[in-house]
Amino acid sequence: MSSKESENSAALRVLNLRKTYKAAAAPALDGVTFEVGQGEFFGLLGPNGAGKSTLIGTVAGLVKPDAGSAYILGRDTVKEPRFTKMAVGIVPQEITFDPFFTVRETLRLQSGFYGIRHNDIWISTLISRLGLSDKINEKVSRLSGGMKRRVLIAQALVHKPPVIILDEPTAGVDVELRHRIWDFMQELHAHGHTIILTTHYLEEAQSLCGRIALLNGGKLAALDTTKALLSRFSGKRLRFTLRSGSLPAIADFVFERIGQTNDYAVSYRNDTDILTVLQALQSTARIDDVHTGESSLEEVFLHLTNSDKRP
Ligand SMILES: Nc1ncnc2c1ncn2[C@@H]1O[C@H](COP(=O)(O)OP(=O)(O)OP(=O)(O)O)[C@@H](O)[C@H]1O
Ligand SMILES: [Mg+2]
């Protein structure tokens, strides 16, 4: 393929990807097709077990799909593993390291793995941008979870890959680091890198991602711009405290329990009259203290995955 074709190709394209793990009852990927354009900030969302990491694993060459293909910048990831390795940086969800090495050694070794000899300037940049400066000579095995996560991110970026895939980079990290990671991802995006982000923090996806794919049960449940997803499902949200009784089972309403309390939120479409909602609620439950608001990506997500939690 000429570099011209590569220039015009999608950053990532997955075509009819299928994967059923051995002894699994259901497929982890059940025919997934979509593409991510160069320069996009793209969200790959879905509940636990939706198939996000499996999809990323097939791109990384760690999971062998039963059928279908993945392409990076127009090139088949299975047929051209070397090209894929250089073009993609993957921050895996699971933290694993060789415990004997320090932070600096780990990043130098990783550079060597990509055949890059003199990478200390970029390594220093990564170290300082990720707030690892005072840990460079520490063994990675001694770092805290959040610090390990920073090294994992730095490690995926040593070769300045044009396509960066982050599988839950902000899982279990503190507020300060989360902001640091957001800033860094946005900076990389501004420099032309394609960013594909998996996260369970929907407000994070809502504020960062231009487009979002939603996986559910190994299938693509939605794929659209964040704006369109929000407006397509834009609706109202009413919070209430349930004193007694049960919630009505109405398909158009999505209920969500807030923490372990008696507080719930119900989301409903803009064209539904609030009186209809209140009447439906009053038919089965005793309610006090209601207040309304606009829906967020959280509600869109619940609508699409149907993961409403009725008591
Ligand atoms: N190595 C494996 N062997 C067998 N089953 C697996 C393996 N990895 C994943 N699965 C199964 O495949 C399905 C999809 O898992 P996957 O890790 O891709 O989901 P995910 O969307 O990344 O979830 P999470 O949000 O929890 O990270 C799940 O049912 C999971 O149990
Ligand atoms: Mg995962």
Nearest CA to ligand 1 atom 26: 48
Q: How far is the CA of 167 from the centre of ligand 1 (A)?
A: 12
Q: Does the beta carbon of 44 sit less than 6 angstroms from any atom of ligand 1?
A: no
SS3 296: coil
> What does the DSSP 8-state code read for residue 261?
S
- On whether the CB atoms of residues 248 and 272 are closer than 8 A, the answer is no
Residue 295's pLDDT is 60
Residues with Cβ within 5 Å of ion ligand 2? 52-53, 93
Q: State both tokens at 199.
A: 């996260």
Domains and CATH numbers, the chain: 3-225 (3.40.50.300), 235-294 (3.30.70)
Query: Which stretches of 119-210 are assigned E, i.e. beta strand?
Result: 163-167, 194-198
How many angstroms separate the CA atoms of 82 and 294, rounded?
Answer: 47
Residues in the chain: 311
Measured in Å, residue 34 CA sits from the centre of ligand 2 at: 18
> Using a 6 Å cutoff on CB, does residue 119 contact ligand 1?
no
300/187: higher pLDDT: 187
Reported confidence tier of residue 285, pLDDT bands at 50, 70, 90: confident
CB of 21 closer than 6 angstroms to any ligand 1 atom: yes
For position 265, what pLDDT does the model report? 82
Closest of 287, 220, 226 to residue 41, by C-alpha: 226
| Percentage of the chain exceeding pLDDT 90 | 60
Q: What is the pLDDT of residue 70?
A: 97
pLDDT in tens, 69-98: 999 999 999 999 999 999 999 999 988 887
d(CA 204, CA 297): 10
Three-state secondary-structure class, residue 111: helix
- Ligand sitting nearest the alpha carbon of 213: 1
- For residue 234, name the pLDDT band (cuts at 50, 70, 90): low
Pocket flag, ligand 1, residue 50 (CB < 6 Å):
yes
Chain segment 146-159, per-residue pLDDT in tens: 999 999 999 999 99
Average pLDDT over residues 61-73: 95
Q: How confident is the model at residue 189 (pLDDT cuts 50, 70, 90)?
A: very high
Quick one: pLDDT band at residue 306, thresholds 50, 70, 90?
low
- Banded model confidence at residue 281, pLDDT cuts 50, 70, 90: confident
- pLDDT value at residue 4: 61
Confidence (pLDDT) at 308 = 41
Span from the CA of 55 to the centroid of ligand 1 (angstroms): 10
Long-range CB contacts for residues 301-306, cutoff 8 Å, separation at least 24: 301/45, 301/202, 301/214, 302/254, 302/256, 302/267, 303/233, 303/254, 303/267, 304/214, 304/216, 304/221, 304/222, 304/233, 305/46, 305/47, 305/50, 305/214, 305/216, 305/221
Q: Which ligand is nearest to the CA of 49?
A: 1
Compute the distance from residue 49 Cα to the ligand 2 centre, in Å.
7
Per-residue pLDDT band at 3 (split at 50, 70, 90): low
Whose alpha carbon is nearest atom 6 of ligand 1?
21
Nearest listed ligand to the Cα of residue 28: 1
Q: Round to whole Å and give the CA distance between 179 and 168.
A: 14
Is any atom of ligand 1 closer than 6 Å to the C-beta of 24?
yes
**Contacts (Cβ under 8 Å, ≥6 apart) of 166:** 90, 91, 153, 156, 185, 195, 196, 197, 198
- Chain mean pLDDT for the chain: 88
**Centroid of ligand 1 to alpha carbon of 299 (angstroms):** 24
